Amino acid sequence: MNDSFKTLIDFTIQGIDESGLGYSFDENKNMHLIPYTLSGEQVRVNFENKVKKKFYYSIDNLLQHSEERSKEVCEHFQKCGGCLLQHWKYEHYKTWKFNLINKPIIKLIPRTKILKMISTKEYTRRRSKFFLHNFNNNFTIGFKKYRSHDFIDIKNCAILDPEIMNFINSFKLILKKSFLHKYNLIININKLDFGLDILIQTNKSLVLDKLVNLFQNINARIVRVSLQYKNQNPDLILMHHINKISFDNQNVYSLIPPGGFIQATKIGETELIKNILNEINNDKNISILDLFSGSGTFSLPLLKKGWKVHAIDGNKNSIEALIRASKEQTLYNKIQYNSSNLMKNKLDVEFLKQFDLIIIDPPRAGAILQISAISDAKVKKIISISCNVLTFLRDTKLLLSRGYSLKYILPIDQFLYTSHLEIFSVFEYEN
């Protein structure tokens, strides 16, 4: 990239890419990416940087607006790196989001059944990670800026459950008068049945008694506060209520360890559980394996409905929480379990052959290791839940090459105004 590119440049936006950025190609087929823009808009931009063959810019001036442009819903939009697409009228954003999976799947398997996308709502996300950052005795609590290691202080968020933001704003007021604002911390928050479950992560040792006093003075519904020093097991700071999360319409609950995984929204969680139960129907004789089970989001509703389940997860605290919840609800005789790092340890094919159905819900990186093992075992049915279109497509290609067919896909937008998409899918072995 020569220095002439660092001057102001005008572009006409030709489309929105799979990450949510407006793009424009020049006569040399270079790709120029500009956030917060829409197709057809004319923009004047500043060059920021180049990554491989892609050039990135920031907006200097929006010269011509699209009719699809909408007023953003958050005061931090274009500063916070969490949302890229609040400026797009929802019906157009929704079509783009659906096509993130629709277009590549139809190209790969033309007659694939893709169900109508389930949409979540603003102010419904129930888990988040905040950063407490101190610089020259001035602190911020918020998120990282777009394409930056800097932080922006967050006062409101159009995505998060308001109870989470109310806690953060109350926490800020307390911090000004406390010792804690001098530290750099990560604050993980899950909203459970009886309030907020908070995990503080730090690389410096903190006095637990001081933390107890601090959190007792915060005006918020707090279930539990835990402190994790480096990679050690968390210490309990205080606990006001049981760490319980219930599943709608299933009359069953899970117990979540500090910082444990929960689905991003209640709407998304309910849809995933409902579709798993619908897919299994009433066949009580099938054997089920739940991979990346966590604390039992899927295992516990299945146990409650009468199925026997084998659950595996790499987090021992999550497995322990699952077992405790199963014992409390007299479901223990129906479950088998073990802990294993599923991202590194490939499961034995002979072990996998004993199951009629495998549910797999891996992290964003996917689990190609286990998908390969499952397909080698020729397991009859796979329910795959993925939050990454690219890794889902990769895994799908492998399964198709091993004799599986894709029965259907259900997209669920749990991550509003971003390129992330939850994909529920069912594969069946045909041979």
DSSP of 19-56: TS-EEEE-TT--EEEETT--TT-EEEEEEEEEETTEEE
- What DSSP element (H or E) covers 318? helix 316-328
> What is the CATH number that goes with domain 127-192+195-239?
2.40.50.1070
Residue-level pLDDT at 66: 97
CB-based contacts of 95, cutoff 8 Å, min separation 6: none
In the predicted structure, residue 323 carries a pLDDT above the cut 90: yes
Query: Using 50, 70 and 90 to split pLDDT, how confident is the model at 1?
Result: very low
Domain ranges in the chain are: 3-69, 94-121+263-429, 127-192+195-239
Give the model confidence (pLDDT) of 246-285 as tens digits. Answer: 998 889 999 999 999 999 999 999 999 999 999 998 788 8
Phi, psi (deg, nearest 5) at residue 399: -65, -40
How far apart (Å, rounded) are the C-alpha atoms in residues 57 and 50? 9
Average pLDDT, the chain: 93
In the predicted structure, residue 4 carries a pLDDT above the cut 50: no
In the predicted structure, residue 151 carries a pLDDT above the cut 80: yes
- What DSSP element (H or E) covers 300? helix 299-304
User: Virtual CA dihedral for 359, 363, 368, 371, nearest 10 degrees?
Assistant: 0
| Selection from 139, 145, 182, 142 nearest residue 165 by Cα | 142
- What DSSP element (H or E) covers 106? helix 90-108
| Selection from 144, 242, 251, 133 nearest residue 193 by Cα | 242
3-state secondary structure of 86: coil
In the predicted structure, residue 104 carries a pLDDT above the cut 80: yes
User: Encoding tokens for residue 204?
Assistant: 């410096």
How far apart (Å, rounded) are the C-alpha atoms in residues 74 and 165? 13
Q: Could you tell me if 374 and 382 are in contact, meaning their C-beta atoms sit under 8 angstroms apart?
A: yes
How do 357-360 and 22-25 pair as beta strands?
A: unpaired
Residue-level pLDDT at 283: 80
Phi, psi (deg, nearest 5) at residue 161: -55, 130
Lowest mean pLDDT among 173-177, 242-246, 405-409, 425-429: 173-177
In the predicted structure, residue 396 carries a pLDDT above the cut 80: yes
| Selection from 78, 96, 125, 67 nearest residue 86 by Cα | 78
In the predicted structure, residue 5 carries a pLDDT above the cut 80: no
Residue-level pLDDT at 120: 95
Under CATH, what is the fold of the domain 3-69?
OB fold (Dihydrolipoamide Acetyltransferase, E2P) (2.40.50)
Query: In the predicted model, what is the mean pLDDT of residues 205-231?
Result: 87
The answer to whether the 94-121+263-429 and 127-192+195-239 domains have the same CATH topology is: no
How do 15-16 and 22-25 pair as beta strands?
A: antiparallel
In the predicted structure, residue 2 carries a pLDDT above the cut 70: no
In the predicted structure, residue 224 carries a pLDDT above the cut 80: yes
Under CATH, what is the fold of the domain 94-121+263-429?
Rossmann fold (3.40.50)
